[in-house]
């Protein structure tokens, strides 16, 4: 972090940064889901000049066996930079920085992945930086969420990530390489959009408490925008590629084959493997309320095969 | 699991199908998969290329920096090739430094480039005896469906072709200038499926193959590198047939990937 | 009264309905109020959220409105009762270990076979890389899955080839009441066994097996389209497709299904 400022003016009086951005501006971001063949799920992110690929395998067997956890899946994230991803060629293989980043990214993802559902397995997330321009850990984590959803791994939420920093005495959003090298602080974060909880938080440099709060607010707002891009990437894949949409047959068979989670797991929130307790006590009131404003397709079980007009497309 | 278990019955089916001249993906025995190449895809590299061969996908990056020559070859630059078979490329790869397979692939690809004089090491000299270019070729495998030898060779040539030597950036020259390539080696990889030989194997075909042969030819149709792999054996006749096919495929692939292959190449001076 | 226009007796006729449901992403709010938590959904207070990328689905099950998410992607998730095609990856004195395309390999115990296998004699019955049709017998909370070879249709496989397709496409391959698969078997003159784990075993003449593989690939990539059955028939055998297409295009009147037959049962292949 921060070598002494040279004669470079990283930010001018009008707030224009070296690459022309204003303090509160994100670099252009493009996200694509489902870009690899072999992997169970994948995503590609271009974020400014960063180019990062994420791939997910899992849940699958744990090797070596002693790492297995009989109560839940382990999430193993491996962040790696390609030799040609930086100006001075990097020797291939994990270095201390990559190992630390891998650890914090694994922990961030663990907070949202439904690991209890797949004990004794691993969910492997591979993140390759093909071209780097600062903010790679945030871009990588952003890609990782999309890749996990693409792989069909159950998660409470997607995790958008972004960094803020301090440059020329001002708090700015989304540092690029020069700013990262010559700036005064770097603060990457990642959040669960719905609850606003922080699942990744690092800081290095020099910030006053006010600057920290200002930066955090900026980063939160940026994360919300990034979340929308993650969502778009996933929806785009499935609305463009019609061959992935489901037909009625598949839906019916899925419902037939799987079970509604038992009441116990309903409270914990999740898909259990429990017996279908149709007659079990539910937390019900006297009347079954049908909420307003929500489309409740009232299709009684015996008539599930009836197809209303709106479903027919022939 | 980290070993690829293909059922015995599927293995036999692949052999039987091959005997009738066909393959599971619909190709015939002497047919390459579709190839797409993009160059200049990595801004931080001096040269780069992305190659898709069927479902196999790789990215090659060329990095150059000034360095010292080896003491026993003061008039030669340094070139080194590395192949990273990263775990994202296949469910059967473990993380870690390159194993014997990745190392073999890197060395075979390197041999084709080096022995064909594509980049003569004398071209990489800045000040004889003192300063030379160290040229790093890094092949990064993103999606593995077989035949990294051929995809790798094509990727490396294409990446070298669009490499700009950073002489000015490193203050060893007045201007950055394009790297000249002197030859276009093309490798073709064959596998034996039962009794029959097929070119450009998929990952499944590589898993069930009893033997493998890679042959690299140059613009002239001469041999520059050969490597037999996976156990098993080839008869002399089979090798000769493969060589003939290699030369033909080499020509075809060069025409496919370059409009005028001869124009791309700058013959050696002197 | 809604007419059920399903042709149940004929071969491979199925209504292809491109679902206009909403696609939701993990963490997305899909309902508010009082519902039953269905598959891949979680509840906080009176809000219901998706766990997976999939189709939002709200329907009544025995009078209770239930929120489900039907996943669009995902690996095979073993369920007790599933018919699966497995490959032996390892064995011990009392078990063979089968890869069934799930998160972990599944053991088959010697007592779960139709044979009387002595302790240590497992190598006489299966070798590594052998394949079999099995059923998922057991699954517990720690992802332990066991399979069985005891039951109708379960057996060691010889010859043929195993093809893999996305597990979510398996229902389309089977078709309404097995109609699609029955047609494919008839036209190709091949034996075909469909596993819930996305694996399909095909056996017959090499040419015919190849055609079936192509047809399966076609189904996998076009599962949402109508006229799928006719196209598959065409791929497998030029002549037969005419009859099917004629019926589809309305030359012959569609046959009404009998409602009483239309009942959901666990389909045992």
Q: List, for residues B138-163, the tens digit of each pLDDT value.
A: 999 999 999 999 999 999 999 999 99
Q: Residue A214 corresponds to which tokens in the numbers above?
A: 């200002």
Return the closest-CA partner of residue B186 out of B159, B227, B211, B223.
B223
Containing H/E element for B110? helix B100-115
Higher pLDDT, residue A150 or C237: A150
Residue count of chain B? 270
Nearest to A311 among C19, C64, C168 (CB): C19
- pLDDT in the model for residue B3: 62
Distance from CA of A231 to the nearest CA of C (A): 7
Asked if residue B245 has pLDDT above 60, the reply is yes
Q: C18, A313: Cβ pair inside 8 Å?
A: yes
Q: Which helix (H) or strand (E) holds C16?
A: none
Q: How many residues does chain A have?
A: 314
Q: Inspect the interface and report whether the beta carbons of B43 and A63 lie closer than 8 Å.
A: no
Which run of H or E residues covers position B70? none
Beta carbons of B48 and B62 less than 8 angstroms apart? yes
Of chain B residues 162-221, which have a CB less than 8 A from chain C?
A: none
Res. C22 pLDDT band, cuts 50 70 90: confident
The mean per-residue pLDDT over the stretch B231-260 comes to: 95
Write down the ipTM of this complex.
0.93
pLDDT, residue A244, reads 52
Tokens of A104: 């914090």
Of C70, C74, C224, the CB nearest to A243: C224
Q: Looking at the complex, does the CB of residue B42 fall below 8 Å from at least one CB of chain A?
A: yes
Residues 6+ apart with CB under 8 A from C264: A252, A256, A301, A304, A305
User: Is the pLDDT reported for residue A37 higher than 90?
Assistant: yes
Whether residues B143 and A39 touch (CB distance < 8 A) is answered with: yes
A57 touches A75 (CB < 8 A): no
Query: Are the beta carbons of A89 and B1 separated by less than 8 Å?
Result: no
- Over residues B30-42, the pLDDT tens digits come to 999 999 999 999 9
pLDDT of residue A7: 55
C19–A246 C-beta distance less than 8 A: yes
**CA gap C42, B90 in Å, rounded:** 33
Q: How many helices (H) and strands (E) does chain B have?
A: 6, 12
Q: What is the mean pLDDT of residues C23-48?
A: 94
Using an 8 Å CB-CB cutoff, list chain A residues near C49.
156-157, 194
Query: How confident is the model over B237-243, as a mean pLDDT?
Result: 97
A6: exposed, middle or buried (Cβ count in 10 Å: 0-12, 13-18, 19+): exposed
Number of H helices, E strands in chain A: 6, 10
Residue A88 CB neighbours (<10 A): 7
Is A246 in contact with C19 (CB distance < 8 Å)?
yes
The stretch A48-61 carries a mean pLDDT of 96
Backbone angles phi, psi at C23, to 5 degrees: -85, 130
Which chains have 3+ CB pairs within 8 A of A? B, C
Q: Are B34 and B45 in contact (CB under 8 A)?
A: no
Which pLDDT score is estimated for C244? 56
Whether C195 has its CB under 8 Å from any CB of chain A: the answer is no
What mean pLDDT is predicted for residues A152-169? 96
**Per-residue confidence band for C247, with pLDDT thresholds at 50, 70 and 90:** low
Closest C-alpha to B222, from B269, B270, B185: B185
Distance CA B141, CA B92 (A): 13
How far is residue C108's CA from residue C152's CA, in Å, rounded to a whole number? 16
CB C230 within 8 A of CB C241: yes
Residues whose CB is less than 8 angstroms from the CB of residue A13 and which lie 6 or more positions away in sequence, other chains included: none
| Predicted confidence (pLDDT) per residue in A217-239, tens digit | 999 999 999 999 999 999 998 77
> Beta strands B196-199 and B223-229: pairing type?
unpaired
pLDDT band for A283, please (50, 70, 90 cuts): very low
DSSP string, B127-188: ETTTEEEEEEEEEEEEE--S-HHHHHHHHHHHHHHT-EE-TTTTTSSSS-EEPPB----EEE
- Residue C120 tokens read as 């240590």
Q: Which residues of A touch B86 (CB under 8 A)?
A: 80, 126, 128
CA A254 – CA A247 distance, rounded (Å): 11
**Distance (Å, whole) CA A298 – CA B5:** 47
Name beta bridge partners: A106.
none
Q: Looking at the complex, report in whole angstroms how far the Cα of residue C64 sits from the nearest Cα belonging to chain A.
A: 8
Cβ separation B142–A53 shorter than 8 A:
yes
Say whether residue B9 is in contact with chain C using an 8 A CB cutoff.
yes
Q: Is the pLDDT of residue A29 over 80?
A: yes
Q: Report CB contact under 8 Å: C206, B9.
A: no
The residue assigned the tokens 């240590």 is C120
**Per-residue pLDDT reduced to its tens digit, B180-232:** 999 999 999 999 999 999 999 999 999 999 999 999 999 999 999 999 999 89
Contact list, B82 vs chain A (CB under 8 Å) = 83, 92
Whether B68 and B116 have beta carbons less than 8 Å apart is answered as no
In the predicted model, is pLDDT for residue C14 greater than 80?
A: no
Check CB contact under 8 Å for B1 and A84: no
Structure tokens at C181: 């698969």
Exposure string over B57-93, b if 16+ CB within 10 A, otherwise e: bbbbbbbbebeebeeeeeebbbbebbbbbbbbbbbeb
pLDDT at A1 over 60: no
Identify the chains in contact with C, defined as 3+ C-beta pairs within 8 A: A, B
Q: Which of B38, B51, B70, B39 is nearest to B179 (CA)?
A: B39
* C19, C25, C266: residue with CB nearest A245: C19
Partners of B26 on chain C (C-beta within 8 Å) are: 214
Interface check for A47 against chain B (CB to CB < 8 A): the answer is no
Closest-CA residue of chain A to C46: A291
More confidently predicted of C250 and B20 = B20
3-state secondary structure of A99: helix
């Amino acid at each position: 972090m921060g070598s002494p400022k040279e004669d470079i003016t990283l930010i001018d009086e009008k707030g224009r940064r070296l690459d022309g951005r204003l303090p509160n501006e994100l670099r252009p971001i493009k996200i694509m889901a489902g870009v690899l063949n072999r992997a169970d799920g994948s995503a590609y992110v271009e974020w400014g000049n960063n180019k990062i690929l994420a791939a997910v395998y899992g849940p699958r067997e744990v090797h070596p066996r002693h790492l297995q956890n009989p109560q839940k899946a382990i999430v193993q994230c491996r962040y790696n930079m390609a030799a040609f991803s930086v100006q001075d060629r990097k020797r291939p293989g994990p270095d201390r920085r990559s190992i630390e980043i891998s650890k914090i990214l694994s922990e961030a993802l663990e907070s949202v992945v439904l690991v209890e559902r797949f004990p004794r397995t691993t969910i492997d997330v591979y993140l390759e930086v093909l071209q780097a321009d600062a903010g790679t850990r945030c871009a990588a984590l952003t890609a990782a969420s999309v890749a996990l959803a693409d792989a069909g791994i159950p998660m409470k939420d997607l995790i958008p990530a972004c960094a803020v920093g301090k440059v020329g005495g001002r708090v700015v959003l989304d540092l690029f390489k020069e700013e990262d090298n010559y700036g005064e602080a770097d603060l990457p974060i990642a959040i669960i959009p719905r609850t606003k909880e922080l699942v990744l938080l690092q800081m290095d440099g020099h910030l006053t408490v006010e600057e920290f709060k200002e930066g955090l607010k900026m980063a939160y707002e940026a994360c919300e925008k990034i979340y929308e891009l993650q969502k778009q990437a996933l929806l785009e894949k499935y609305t463009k590629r019609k061959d992935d949409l489901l037909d009625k047959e598949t839906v019916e068979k899925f419902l037939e084959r799987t079970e509604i989670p038992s009441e116990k797991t309903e409270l914990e929130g999740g898909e259990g493997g429990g017996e279908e307790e149709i007659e079990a006590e539910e937390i019900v009131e006297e009347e079954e309320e049908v909420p307003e404003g929500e489309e409740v397709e009232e299709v009684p079980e015996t008539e599930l095969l009836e197809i209303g007009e709106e479903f027919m497309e022939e | 699991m980290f070993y690829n278990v293909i059922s015995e019955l599927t293995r036999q089916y692949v052999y039987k199908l091959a005997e009738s001249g066909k393959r599971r993906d619909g190709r015939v025995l002497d047919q390459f998969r579709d190839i797409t190449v993009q160059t200049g895809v990595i801004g931080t590299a001096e040269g780069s290329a992305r190659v898709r061969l069927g479902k196999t996908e790789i990215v090659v990056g060329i990095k150059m920096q000034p360095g010292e020559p080896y003491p026993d070859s003061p008039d030669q630059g340094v070139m080194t090739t590395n192949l990273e078979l990263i775990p994202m490329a296949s469910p059967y790869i473990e993380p870690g430094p390159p194993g014997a397979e990745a190392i073999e692939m890197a060395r075979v690809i390197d041999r084709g480039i080096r022995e064909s004089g594509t980049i003569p090491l004398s071209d990489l000299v800045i000040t004889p005896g003192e300063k030379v270019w160290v040229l790093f070729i890094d092949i990064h495998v993103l999606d593995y469906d077989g035949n990294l030898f051929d995809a790798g060779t094509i990727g490396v040539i294409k990446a070298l072709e669009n490499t700009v030597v950073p002489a000015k950036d490193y203050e060893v020259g007045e201007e950055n200038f394009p790297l000249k390539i002197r030859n276009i080696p093309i490798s073709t990889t064959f596998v034996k499926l039962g009794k029959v030989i097929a070119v450009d194997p998929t990952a499944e075909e590589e898993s069930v193959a009893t033997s493998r042969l890679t042959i690299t030819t140059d613009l002239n149709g001469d041999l520059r590198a050969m490597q037999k792999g996976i156990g098993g054996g080839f008869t002399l006749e089979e090798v000769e047939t493969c060589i003939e096919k290699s030369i033909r495929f080499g020509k075809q692939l060069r025409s496919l990937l370059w409009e005028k292959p001869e124009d791309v190449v700058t013959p050696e001076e002197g | 009264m809604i007419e059920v226009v399903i042709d149940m007796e004929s071969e491979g006729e199925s209504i292809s309905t491109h679902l206009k449901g909403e696609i939701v992403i993990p963490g997305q709010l899909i309902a508010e109020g009082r519902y039953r938590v269905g598959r891949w959904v979680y509840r906080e207070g009176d809000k219901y959220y998706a766990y997976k990328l999939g189709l939002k689905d709200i329907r009544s099950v025995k009078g209770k409105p239930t929120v489900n998410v039907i996943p669009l992607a995902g690996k095979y998730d073993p369920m007790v009762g599933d018919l699966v095609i497995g490959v032996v990856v390892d064995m011990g004195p009392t078990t063979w270990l089968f890869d069934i395309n799930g998160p972990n390999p599944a053991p088959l115990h010697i007592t779960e076979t139709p044979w009387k296998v002595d302790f240590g004699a497992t190598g006489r019955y299966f070798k590594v890389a052998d394949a079999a049709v099995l059923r998922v017998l057991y699954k517990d909370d720690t992802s332990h899955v066991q399979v069985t070879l005891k039951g109708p249709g379960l057996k060691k496989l010889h010859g043929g080839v195993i093809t893999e397709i996305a597990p979510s496409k398996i229902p389309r391959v089977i078709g309404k009441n097995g109609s699609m698969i029955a047609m494919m078997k008839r036209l190709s003159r091949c034996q075909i066994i469909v596993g819930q784990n996305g694996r399909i075993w095909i056996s017959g003449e090499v040419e015919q097996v190849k055609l079936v593989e192509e047809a399966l690939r076609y189904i996998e990539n076009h599962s949402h389209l109508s006229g799928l059955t006719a196209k598959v028939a065409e791929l497998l055998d030029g002549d037969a497709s005419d009859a099917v297409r004629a019926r589809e295009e309305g030359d012959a009147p569609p046959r009404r299904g009998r409602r009483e037959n239309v009942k959901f049962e666990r389909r045992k292949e």
